Structure formats: structure tokens, C-alpha cells
Amino acid sequence: MYRIAWLPGDGIGIDVMNAARAVLDALKLDAQYMPADIGWEFWCNEGDALPQRTIDLLRASHCAFFGAITSKPKEEADAELAPHLRDKGFVYRSPIVRLRQLFDLYMNLRPCKAYAGNPLNYRDDINLVIFRENTEGLYAGVEFHPVPENVRRALEESSGAMRAFKAIASDDIAITARIITRRGAERIVRRAFEYAQKNNYPTVTLVEKPNVLRETSGLMTRVARQVARAFPRIELWEANIDAMMMWLLKNPQQYGILVTSNLFGDVVSDLCAQLVGGLGFAASGNIGDQFAVFEPTHGSAPKYAGQNKVNPLATILAAKLMLDWLGETEKATRLENAIATVIAEGRVRTYDLGGTSTTMEMAEAVARKL
Ligand code: NAI
Ligand code: MG
């Protein structure tokens, strides 16, 4: 029996998780769903949006299924903290970023497939899968403002380009480091190629900018070329991130697997999600070697919270990704077929698809097809 940590979180996270649960129950997955606390309420009342008891429960589970959380800017976060916790040094940290770091969930898997009959498809022949590095790059968290004197001095001594900023006061300059490691590059590219091989994709496209980011994108490129040699039947394409934004709008059907670093992956995957229906369809897996967290990519959409209104398919597609990862291939395929049939029939549609069906009606329609 699988032990699945169940983290609805805030707002519509709760609505869409209920919907996903109805579908998983219809599939009769042999699983124990273990509810755990995450989200805004726990920040306000405990000073921690991801309490230690939740981390302990995650460590005792096979994987986690996550809805969405609310997060707010610093001033509001401080103001909403319970009075007895104020001025005690609590700092809000994104629970999802922490989960990625704690469990080394280095791969962010974002399939973007146009299901036939989805009125929101940009084209009907799009089938992209994005592999975004999830732990380093520009989101590694190495940032300075003001920039400490010793950091500036070290940079000025070792980089001619840094000397151009010499006259600027430390308070007037901010620096974010883009960190790419050989190990980080190697493992994300290798996972992309393995996936391409297993699923018969003829190409893997590396999306970087090595002509300008000569060292970081350069390392990604060198590593990708090396990894590609082990997969002679799959062609490595290389595209610059800026040009790729044009190509993806012009000819998205020509691409299959995309692999890229953290920030570029964040950008590319939102664009690709919109090509196949937007937030109501965008599912993702945060995957490491030992553990994984599956989620819809949308947030808690407070204005729709508790209204049983939003589209649950992103979350149900995340359940499909979880079944794949667990090795439940037959159930994953059955679930995807059921989703595809409901979309193709077009009888049950939530508001984003121009319909009036509820979240639960959509989930029940999928469950019936199972
Ligand atoms: P959001 O993704 O929550 O919602 C933006 C808009 O997209 C909604 O108002 C709605 O019109 C539409 N939408 C979202 N999910 C949908 C669905 N399943 N079906 C149909 N339409 C849907 O983003 P927003 O409003 O920027 O953020 C709201 C809160 O969520 C914030 O506190 C933010 O920090 C948080 N957030 C959390 C994320 C997470 O938990 N992974 C990701 C993004 C935002
Ligand atoms: Mg994003």
C-alpha cells in the first residue's frame, strides 16, 4: 500500500484536491492518504508554513500530493502573524521551495499536451514535455543587497566586467548569482534523454543562452552534448531562450522534450501551459531520486476558494504523473484516457472552458469514464 502525504493547502487547493481524491478513489489505487498541514494558516498561527510535523510525515511517505498555498509579501506576512509570535524573528519562507531543497527534488517535470477538443488549445498537435532544473540556477538563493564589501572586492579582482560597476555605492547594486553545477546539469539533461528514449521522442531541445551566458549556459551546453552521445538515436537541438519564445509560438508542434535551467524553465513552462489551455491544465511533478511532490501549478486563487468552481483537471493530470512515477502505468493510462474522453466530449466544462460545470462535476465525469 502506498503512503501518500496529502497536502491540500489553501484556497482552491482544497477544492481541487477533493476532486482529485474522487478520481483516485474511482481508480481504486491501493493507497493511504495522510493529510498534513501546509500553508498560510500555519504561518499565521505557528510562524511556519511548513511545520516540522509535516516534514516528518513526508519522510514517512512514498510521495506527496499538494494543492496550492497562499503567500503574501513581507509587510502583510508580518502583519498577519499571531500577536504572540511577532518580533520573535520568524521569517516567511516558501514551503514549496523548501520542499524542493529538503528532498532534493531536482527535476520539475511539466508535460504540456493539447488534448483533442479542448477549446483553449493554441493548436491541436502540441505535445511538449519540459524538464526544468529545480534546485539551482538563478533560484539558488545566493543574493546580495547591499553587496558586502568582500564580495565586491572578490568579484572585482576576478572579473573585468565587474570593474565597470566600481563607482556604484553598495546600497545601489544588487546581485543574484546564477549557479550551475556539472552534477545539476548532468542529471537534468540525462533524465530528459532517458524520458525521450522511453517515450520515443526523436529530439531533445536544450534551451539556454550560451552565446551570452558563456559560463553557466556554456556548462549546460557542454554537459548536454556529452550526455547526448550516450543516446545516438535522439537528436540534441540547441536553442536560445529568446528565440525559443518565438519558435514556440510559431511552430510548437515541431518540438518534443525541452530541457533547461531553473529560471528559463519557469518561463518556458508557463508559456507552454498556455498553449494547451492554461492554469486549469498545467500539472507538474517535483521529482528527486527518492521522493516526489506532485501538484497543479496554479496557486490558491482566493477569489474562487470554496466555490467548487475552478477546473480540477490540472490536479487530476498531476495525479496521472504521480501514478506514472509510482510505476502504476496501467492506472495512469486509464486515467489519461478518461480525462481525454471527457475533454473530447465537451459536455462537462468548467468556467475557464466556457461552461458552467462545477469542480466536482468535472471530477465525477472523469471518474465515470474510469
Ligand atoms: P493563481 O494561480 O492562484 O490564480 C490566478 C487566476 O488563474 C485565478 O484568479 C483564476 O482566474 C485562474 N485559475 C487558477 N487556477 C485555476 C483553475 N484550476 N481553473 C480555472 N482557473 C484557474 O495565481 P495568483 O492569483 O497570482 O495567486 C494567488 C495566491 O496563490 C497567491 O497567494 C500566490 O502567492 C499563490 N500561488 C501559489 C502557488 C502554489 O501554491 N504553487 C503558485 C502560484 C501562486
Ligand atoms: Mg511559475
Residue 147 CA to ligand 1 centre (angstroms): 33
**What is the domain partition of the chain in residue ranges?**
1-104+291-370, 122-139+179-275, 143-176
Residue 128 CA to ligand 2 centre (angstroms): 17
Ligand nearest to the CA of 350: 1
Ligand nearest to the CA of 10: 1
Question: pLDDT tens for residues 82-125?
Answer: 999 998 999 998 899 899 989 999 999 999 999 999 999 999 99
Nearest to 220 by CA among 234, 240, 242: 240
Q: Which stretches of 298-350 are DSSP H helices?
A: 313-326, 329-345
Residue 97 CA to ligand 2 centre (angstroms): 12
Question: pLDDT tens for residues 196-233?
Answer: 999 999 999 999 999 999 999 999 999 999 999 999 99
Residue 66 CA to ligand 1 centre (angstroms): 14
For residues 281 and 317, the answer to whether their CB atoms sit within 8 Å is yes
Distance, in Å, from the CA atom of 352 to the CA atom of 119, rounded to the nearest integer, reads 10
For residue 276, what are the β-bridge partners?
121
Residue 134 neighbours by CB under 8 Å, 6+ apart: 100, 105, 106, 107, 108, 262, 265, 286
CA-304 nearest atom, ligand 1 = 9
Distance, in Å, from the CA atom of 321 to the CA atom of 315, rounded to the nearest integer, reads 10
Residues within a 6 A CB radius of ligand 1? 68-71, 96, 279-280, 298-303, 310-311, 314, 352
Question: Which string of b and e fits 13-38 if b means at least 16 CB within 10 Å?
Answer: bbbbbbbbbbbbebbebebebeebbb
pTM: 0.95
For the chain of 370 residues, list the mean pLDDT of each consecutive stretch of 10: 98 98 98 98 97 98 98 92 93 91 96 98 98 95 93 94 93 96 98 97 98 98 98 98 98 98 96 97 98 97 97 98 98 98 98 98 98
Which is it for strands 63-68 and 292-296: parallel, antiparallel or unpaired?
parallel
CA-313 nearest atom, ligand 1 = 18
Distance, in Å, from the CA atom of 153 to the CA atom of 168, rounded to the nearest integer, reads 13
User: Which residue has its alpha carbon closest to ligand 1 atom 36?
Assistant: 299
CATH code of the domain made up of 1-104+291-370: 3.40.718.10
Residue 154 neighbours by CB under 8 Å, 6+ apart: none
Burial level of 159, CB count in 10 A (0-12/13-18/19+)?
exposed
Q: How many CA atoms lie within 13 A of 154 on its CB side?
A: 5
Ligand nearest to the CA of 358: 1
* pLDDT for res 30: 97
Residue 299 CA to ligand 2 centre (angstroms): 10
Quickly name the fold that domain 122-139+179-275 has: Rossmann fold (3.40.50)
User: Which residue has its alpha carbon closest to ligand 1 atom 11?
Assistant: 301
Residue 289 grid cell: 531520486
Residue 158 grid cell: 576576478
